Each structure stands twice: as structure tokens, then as C-alpha cells.
Amino acid sequence: MSAISEEIELKFLCEAADVEALLAAAPPGEDRSIALAAIYFDTPERRLRDLGAGLRIREEPEGRRQTLKTGRGLRRQEYEIALERDGLDASHAPLRDLLGREHVARLEPLFAVHVQRRLRAVAWEGAQIELALDEGEIIAGGRQASLCEVELELKSGEPAALFALARRLFEAAPLYLSFESKADRGFALVEGEDPASSHAPVRLSREMTAAAAFQAICRAALAQIAAKGLILRQGGDSPEAIHQLRVAIRRLRSAISTFGVLVAGDPLDALKGELKWLASACDEARNLDVFLEETYRPAALAGATIHGLADLGQALDAARGKAHARARAAAASTRFRALLLELQAWIETGDWLARLEAGGGPARDFAEGALSGLRRKLAKQGRGLMSLSDAQRHQVRIQAKKLRYAAEAFAPLLADKAARRLIKKTRALQTALGALNDGATAEALLASLGLEGPALYAAGHLAGEIAAGRETRMAAAARAWSAYRDVDDPW
């Protein structure tokens, strides 16, 4: 018989050396340990992965079970059946409904997961919670990756109790919130990718409420923040991780602003302040990456005969190393861990949810109203764009960015072709204004380095070249602004 349930769970990455400390800090309860071995399946095109689903057959003490999991975030749907024979049960209705008979027939084994699971059933703040600590490995062909995870699964009670227990465990060991399932990590191992480098798209449907749409957008951004933070903690040169972390932070802040009428209230101001802190911890590293990549290195590779260019390069590299170290330290900090946990607690269980009637109404209606408001604000801020100050044009760029992020998130709810056109033209406007902003901030960036002698001379030379290209960038921004204003609303 098929069992359908909703799994409500928090997952954290931890170090194997901290497992005993976590068990000691957890509430008392009945302990047991079991060995689990699972094989995961997908089609050659990875249709399950693209749908945000995972399919496994697992050997458990009670026997063999086939499990299909769908969804992301705190709540996932779980469809299970007991198996009496080897191989997949292709007749399982949820699997057929998700993939279709043709694709079910093409499922193949991809990777294996072997873990030793330590379990404890605990009572905490009126809830029954299963604490699971998994240590083991994922095996795909000749590749393997170790894993050590903590899972808190709600068996009964309110989800807020999960976060309360997590806060207690945070005091015992550094736990990092993770949105990557074992299936996600296995898929990445098969493809030879870093699992933290993947990006799960936002999936909205026209049946969603505005609240559900907001949660889906925020979950995707929060998952990216967690994943890019992991890349930074792992060390190494990571300009793309810095960039994508800042993008994810901006997307989350933009969503909070766009849905502000629904979600305003405590503790939002504190969370917004912490997101601003995290973004600022990465700003200098990103600015130096951009200057090195777009200005300094092209000059150096072209063999420019600028006095002091090599000295400037050394100064830039040294400053960049320190800035990246500060970003990595932020991603490894207790402050970062707490921010992610409190953000998810607010997204999933915040008081704002109880204040809404009917989930804030249909997501499509909200999207139309929100995008209309964002377009009106951009039109107002961009009036007389070419005569604005650099600071004012930067604000226009920020507003264009908010509109683009909202349009990308809401795209499944809108007229397809018109939505794509709006996104394309808004992105082009954002890029053109970004080029102007990079030029405007280059002088301040160089001044902050405290350069002297030949390095200072070379910096002045490059700053002059940037200034000389200002009119070209202004003309590009004017064309992008005109093209954007010709775009119709996508509804």
C-alpha cells in the first residue's frame, strides 16, 4: 500500500567531530542506530532532478522501500511503498503522474548513499521531534563524497518547535542550514559538479496564493545564500560565489520589498539589517573582482606601457585577498548561521502568515499590482535620466534591478512573450546603468587603497581611461532606457 505524507524537516551540515556534543546538548530521548543503504534513480535527461524530486529504493531494518520526494524547503511531499521484489515499482501512481509512463520506463540507477543514522525521539516545546545524525558517503561510479548531516523532523506539533530546538543545538556546535537533499548531492556527484554551485529555479503556479509565491521566491534565494556560503567556507578563489551570494541577497531583499504590504512587521527590520550586513561584507571583494577583471587585466594583457601598472596589480591583488578573506569569515560566522536560521523561521512560521486573509489573495493578481507599482516607481525615478547625478542614476539602477527580479520570479504567472521582453529590456537597462556606476565608483575604490608612487600613477591613468569612456556609456544607457520604455506590460 502507498503511504503519502508531508515531511516537515530542517537539515544542517555539521562536522563528524561535533556529533557527540550535539547529542549531549539535545533533549533526552530514546536512542537507536541503524545502517541505511539507498539507490537513487532518474532518467538520462535528469527529469526528476529538474522537477525538484528524488526517487530512491532504500534498505531499512523493516525491509525495502521505494520513496518519491517532491518539493523544497521546510515541507516536502513523500510517497512511499514497500517493495517485495528487486527493482523499481513502475506502477506507483505518484511516480507515473509526475513523470508519465514513457519516462518512468527510462528510469535508471545513478548513485548510492550509505549512512549510519543515529536517531533520538525527543519532546520539545509541545512537539514530538525526531533528531537524526547521518554519517556516511555518496557513491557514483568512481566518485564518492562524504556527508555528515543533522536532520530535525517534526512528527507532531507546530513547526516553530523545530526552530526552537535548532537554536539550542546551535549553542553546542556550528550547524549550517542546508537546502540540499541527498539526491541533490548525488546528482551533482554524477555530473561532476559542486552541489553548492547548482541553482534551483523558482516554481510558481497560477493556483498559488501571494503568500505561497513569496515563500517560494524566498526559499530559492535563501537556498542560494546557504549554498554560496558553503563554497566560501570551503576556501579558495571564489569570485563567482561572491557574485552569486550578493545576487541571492539582493533577490531576497527585493522580494521583501515587493511583498512589503503583506509581510511588514517584527522581526523584519532586524532581518533586513542583517542581510545588509552580509551584503556589505562582500561588497569590497566584488568591486575589486570587477575592477581587476574589466579594467586592470585587459590593460595588462594588452601590454599597456603604463608606468607602475605592475605595482598597481600587486596592490589590487593584496587588497582583493584581504577582502575575500573578510567575505569568507562572514560566511563562516555565527552571525551568518543565525541569520539563515532566523530567516527561514520567519519565512515559514512568521507572524505575518497569521495576519493574512486567504493567503493574501491570488498570486497572479498580486504580481500584476506589484509589477505595475514597480514600473511606475522606475518611470518616476528615471525621469530626465541623462541629467541625473551619478547617485540618482544608481538609485534608478537599483529600482530597475528590483523590477527585473520581480518580473523573473513572476514570469510563470504572466503572458510569456511579453514577460520575456520586459525581463530582457530591464536587464539591458540594469547592465547599462551598472557600467556607468562601475565607472563612477572606480575612483573611490582606487582612493580607498591608499596607493603611493608608481601604483598611484597607474591608478590615475586607468581612472582617466574610464572617465574618457563616460560619454559612450551614457549613450548606451540612454538607448537602453528608451528601449525599456517601449515595452508593454506583460498582462
Phi, psi of 374, deg, nearest 5: -65, -40
pLDDT of 60: 87
pLDDT of 442: 87
The pLDDT of residue 197 is above 70: no
pLDDT of 444: 87
The pLDDT of residue 62 is above 60: yes
pTM for the complete prediction? Answer: 0.92
* Per-chain mean pLDDT for the chain: 93
pLDDT of 236: 67
- Provide the residue type at 310 as one letter: A
For residues 441 and 398, the model is more confident at: 398
Q: What pLDDT digit, counting tens, does each position of 342-382 carry?
A: 999 999 999 999 999 989 999 999 999 999 999 999 999 99
Which residues, 6+ apart, have CB-to-CB distance to 198 below 8 Å? 184, 187, 188, 227
The pLDDT of residue 439 is above 90: no
pLDDT of 491: 77
For residues 203 and 92, the model is more confident at: 92
pLDDT of 320: 96
The pLDDT of residue 2 is above 80: no
pLDDT of 266: 80
In 3D, which of 47, 57, 101 has the Cα closest to residue 83? Answer: 57
pLDDT, average across residues 109-120? 96
The pLDDT of residue 196 is above 70: no
pLDDT of 295: 93
Q: What pLDDT digit, counting tens, does each position of 219-268 carry?
A: 999 999 999 999 999 886 689 999 999 999 999 999 999 999 999 988 89
Cα gap 256→443, rounded to integer Å: 32
Neighbouring CB atoms inside 10 A of 193's CB total: 11
Whether 254 and 276 have beta carbons less than 8 Å apart is answered as: no
Domains in the chain, CATH or no CATH each: 3-198 (2.40.320.10), 256-485 (no CATH)
